[in-house]
A and B are shown apart, each in its own frame.
Chain A
Amino acid sequence: MIDLVPTAIYKYKEETVELIPGEGPHSTDGSTQQISEVVTNAGGIDRDKPSEHNDTSLGHLRARLTTLHDEINIFLTSRMKGGNSGDSDDVERRVLDGDDDDNESDEV
């Protein structure tokens, strides 16, 4: 079975960060991709969980990709939190939350 490993590279100005899924274990049920607590607290049942990955190259790629997705979410969230403290380079916050000052469209 071929090991397919996805990676992500973040570049902004002089900063470059490479994100890799690591050794694992990996699953399709990502930690940052759970249903909101507000729903479960209201008695909601999560019937939308992703299916488990298959024991194939593509299946394992899917699981690693979920881990990578988690890493990206955590990384960008931490950047956003940093931005709120007054960092003028908080590009993620401006992209995701919008910025009335620079006429960005609301395209997603």
Chain B
Amino acid sequence: MTVDLDKFVKPGKDHYIALGFEGSANKLGVGVIKHNVGTLSESNPAIVLSNVRDTYITPPGEGFLPRDTARHHRNWAVRVTKKALHDAGIKGSEIDVICFTQGPGMGAPLQSVVIMARTLAQLWNIPMVGVNHCVGHIEMGREITGAQNPVVLYVSGGNTQVIAYLRQRYRIFGETLDIAIGNCLDRFARTLRIPNDPAPGYNIEQMAKKGKHLVSLPYTVKGMDLSMSGILGYIDGIAKDMFGKKPKQRLDEETGEPITAEDLCFSLQEHLFSMLVEITERALAHVNANQVLIVGGVGSNERLQEMMAAMVKDRKNGQIYATDERFCIDNGIMIAHTGLLSYRMGITNELWDTVCTQRFRTDEVFVKWRED
């Protein structure tokens, strides 16, 4: 069955424009996207008109609290939106639909951003569409990379899932049983008091590049799922021994050289990413696929991409797809793009149905815009 994306096109119009708001964690993103009528393809791609982001950054050693993050989003929403509209060169009257992250995410920041979306929707009399944040990542990744039907590894500060598409749902094949991978990395960054600017995970990645010695850590793949809280507890313990009040030097078992903070970052990444590669490979085998798409903020980690590529290349016609930080890290454009796909299928949310929810699983979304 071929999906007709233009059943609801306004008479006389040859394109659609969507404004998207993202604010489920510490990034406030506003983006404007344009789709020309017709099926999206290499010759008719989605056009990014603007993609503006502002990140709430806390001091080293501190995470981001919901109320302060919400405050950041509230106080920057108007400025970021104005810039997004200015960069796109459009007016409110040209927008077909306003899209917002409906969940999953942190309650207070989600709430701040949906208020901005509701206000503009009522001011300009424009319909709204609520978007699942995870599906937003997947659809933007597919659009940017051109991956047709990949197994998706979704890795971020709040989510860790291996996903495959079947019969208009993104099915979760495996996921974390406790904390997300980005949360694991961020919390270790706090232990080492690594700066949160531009992002703790990015700074860990840079330190890991200088690591030489692999410290043995637990490896906790459980079937298709994985667990990371125990690994974090274990490496936190090592770090506290090494850098706590009574610092204790730790030596590499093979060379006898001292273990450094860089070695710990390197070891943590190697273990966690190996676990991700293992469950992704198993998902590929399950669905007999050969494409992997990595999305989410941790997906911009070059070492993860490298390790995944090594696995994928061993498979027949294996292909790996990833995007850069503009689209990997939370952004408004992915929400605009996915919301616009919904809108083109005639899906909109009435005002009463724009309540955000912290829990909103990827497989709850009926993917009406993709073929069965």
Nearest Cβ on chain A to B163's Cβ, whole angstroms: 23
How many whole Å from B10's CB to the nearest CB in chain A? 31
A51–B80 alpha-carbon span in the complex (Å): 13
Looking at A8-16, A17-25, A31-39, the stretch in contact with chain B turns out to be: A31-39
**A50: Cβ under 8 A from any B Cβ:** yes
Given known A36-B67, A43-B59, contact A108–B75 (CB-CB < 8 A)? no
Asked whether, in the complex, the Cβ of A38 is within 8 Å of the Cβ of B75, the reply is no
Restricting to B339-365, which residues have a CB under 8 Å from any CB of A? 355-359
Partner of A42, one of B58, B110, B357: B58
Looking at the complex, which one of A48, A106, A108 makes contact with B111 (CB distance below 8 Å)? A108
Interface string of A40-64 (1 = CB under 8 A from B): 0011100011110000000000000
Known interface pairs A42-B62, A48-B75; A108-B68 also in contact (CB < 8 Å)? no
Contacts of A3 in B (CB 8 A): none
Given A35-B71, A108-B110, check contact A44 B62 (CB 8 Å).
yes
Asked if B20 is an interface residue, CB under 8 A from chain A, the answer is no
Whether the pair A107, B67 counts as a contact (CB closer than 8 A) is no
Q: Does B72 contact A (CB under 8 A)?
A: yes
Residue of A36, A44, A49, A108 contacting most chain B CB atoms (<10 Å): A108
Min CB–CB distance B229 → chain A (angstroms): 22
Residue of A nearest to B110 (CB): A108
A44 touches B72 (CB 8 A): no
- Given A39-B62, A42-B58, A44-B58, verify A106-B358 contact (CB < 8 Å): yes
Chain A residues within an 8 Å CB radius of B76: 48
Docked Cα-Cα span, A38 to B64, in Å, equals 10
Q: A-facing mask of B58-89, CB < 8 A → 1, else 0?
A: 11111001011001101110010000000000
Residue from B58, B110, B357 within 8 A of A39 (CB atoms): B58
Task: Say yes or no for B369: interface residue by CB 8 A criterion.
Answer: no
Chain A CB within 8 A of B273 CB: no
A13–B61 Cα distance when bound, in Å, is 46
Interface residues on A, range: 10 to 19
A36-B65, A108-B107, A108-B108 known; A48+B72 contact, CB < 8 A: yes
Which residue of chain B is the closest to A33 with respect to CB atoms?
A: B71
| In the complex with contacts A39-B59, A42-B58, A107-B355, A50-B67 CB distance below 8 A | no
Hey, which chain B residues are within 8 Å of A43, CB to CB? 59
A107 and B62 contact, CB distance less than 8 A: no
Q: Which residues of chain A are within 8 angstroms of B357 by Cβ–Cβ distance?
A: 105-108
List which A73-108 residues lie within 8 A (CB) of chain B.
105-108
The contact of A35 among B60, B68, B79, B107, by CB within 8 Å, is B68
Q: Roughly how many angstroms separate A50 CA and B111 CA in the complex, as a whole number?
A: 17
Residues of B within 8 A of A33 (CB): 71
Chain A interface residues (CB < 8 Å from chain B): 33, 35-36, 38-39, 42-44, 48-51, 105-108
Closest 3 CB pairs of A and B: A108-B107, A42-B59, A44-B59
* Interfacial residues, chain B to chain A (CB-CB below 8 A): 56, 58-62, 65, 67-68, 71-72, 74-76, 79, 107-108, 110-111, 355-359
- Besides the known contacts A44-B59, A51-B79, 11 further A-B residue pairs in the complex with CB atoms under 8 A apart: A36-B65, A39-B65, A39-B68, A42-B60, A44-B58, A44-B62, A107-B357, A108-B108, A108-B110, A108-B355, A108-B357
